[in-house]
């Protein structure tokens, strides 16, 4: 009886081990399948990573090419701007020289006429004349008492023609440059206009209308 019990127990143990072994084999196969899947996924990711690296390299090459083209374009634009600026300066200098020569001839021709009207342009380079409709009957022409001549530092020659508005006290209440101005530098023109407005004086004529006078300043380069 005892021998039968032992044989039965051995059969149970053997059957249980076989079943356990079958389960382990099945689990092992599943693990191998998972490992194979993971390896396949790894290979796919490696391929995608390599493809991304290739794309990044290509994009970097394109960026480098664009940067090179940008530098070339900037260089060309700078050269074109320099040429255009040099050409513009040459045109301005040529126009100033032509205008200066023309004004010199005009000044020589009109010198006697200026002296005939009590030298309205004066020795200081200033001049005056009445604007249309701005006269004051019974008071005659404006009488300028001085001839301020500003001497700004500039590389260009030319004249600044200023329109002055004068009240009955002989005070200039406004001044502006006219289209007859030939000097190319707006900063110089503003300095001259401001200087003349502050310093030029006219004889007071109480009761006179507000009148317009013109004052010309010749600027020499240097």
What is the structure's pLDDT at 212?
93
What is the structure's pLDDT at 214?
95
Confidence of residue 110 (pLDDT cuts 50, 70, 90): very low
Examine the domain organization and report whether 22 and 129 are in the same domain: no
Examine the domain organization and report whether 54 and 37 are in the same domain: yes
pLDDT of 124 higher than 80: no
CA distances 214 to 24, 51, 59, 218, Å, are 115, 80, 68, 13
Structure tokens at 64: 């480098």
Examine the domain organization and report whether 49 and 128 are in the same domain: no
Better-scored residue on pLDDT, 15 or 39: 39
Confidence of residue 217 (pLDDT cuts 50, 70, 90): very high
Examine the domain organization and report whether 89 and 139 are in the same domain: no
Q: What would the mean pLDDT of 5-33 be, rounded to a whole number?
A: 78
Boundary residue ending a domain (116, 133, 156): 116
- Is-contact 216 126, C-beta < 8 A? yes
Nearest to 134 by CA among 163, 94, 96: 163
Confidence of residue 70 (pLDDT cuts 50, 70, 90): confident
Boundary residue ending a domain (57, 84, 116): 116
Other Cβ atoms closer than 10 A to 188: 20
Q: What CATH number should be reported for the domain holding residue 126? A: 3.30.2420
Each residue's pLDDT tens digit, 35-53: 989 998 999 999 998 888 9
What is the structure's pLDDT at 145?
95
Task: Quote the mean pLDDT of the chain.
Answer: 79
Q: Which domain holds residue 187?
A: 120-219
- Poorest-confidence range of 57-71, 177-191, 206-220? 57-71
Better-scored residue on pLDDT, 134 or 17: 17
Examine the domain organization and report whether 125 and 106 are in the same domain: no
Boundary residue ending a domain (116, 134, 156): 116
Examine the domain organization and report whether 37 and 60 are in the same domain: yes
How many domains are there within the chain? 2
pLDDT of 112 higher than 70: no
Examine the domain organization and report whether 133 and 111 are in the same domain: no
Examine the domain organization and report whether 50 and 79 are in the same domain: yes
- Is-contact 165 174, C-beta < 8 A? yes
What is the structure's pLDDT at 176?
96
What is the structure's pLDDT at 140?
76
Better-scored residue on pLDDT, 193 or 97: 193
Task: Report strand pairing: 211-219 vs 158-166.
Answer: antiparallel
């Amino acid at each position: 009886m005892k021998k039968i019990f032992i044989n039965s127990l051995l059969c149970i143990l053997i059957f249980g081990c076989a079943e356990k072994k079958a389960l382990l084999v099945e689990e092992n196969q599943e693990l191998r399948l998972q490992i194979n899947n993971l390896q396949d996924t790894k290979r796919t990711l490696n391929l995608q990573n390599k493809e991304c690296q290739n794309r990044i390299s290509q994009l970097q090459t394109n960026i480098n090419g664009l940067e090179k083209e940008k530098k070339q374009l900037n260089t060309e634009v700078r050269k074109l701007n320099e040429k255009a600026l040099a050409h513009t300066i040459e045109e301005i200098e040529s126009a100033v020289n032509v205008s200066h020569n023309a004004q010199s001839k005009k000044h020589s021709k009109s010198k006697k006429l200026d002296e005939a009207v009590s030298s309205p342009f004066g020795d200081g380079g200033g001049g005056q004349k009445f604007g249309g409709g701005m006269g004051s009957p019974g008071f005659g022409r404006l009488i300028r008492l001085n001839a301020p001549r500003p001497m700004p530092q500039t590389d260009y020659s030319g004249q600044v023609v200023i329109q002055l508005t004068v009240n009955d006290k002989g005070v200039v209440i406004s001044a502006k440059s006219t289209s007859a101005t030939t000097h190319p530098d707006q900063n110089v023109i503003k300095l001259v206009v401001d200087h003349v407005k502050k310093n030029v004086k006219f004889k007071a004529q109480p009761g006179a209308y507000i009148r317009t006078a013109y004052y010309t300043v010749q600027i020499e380069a240097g």
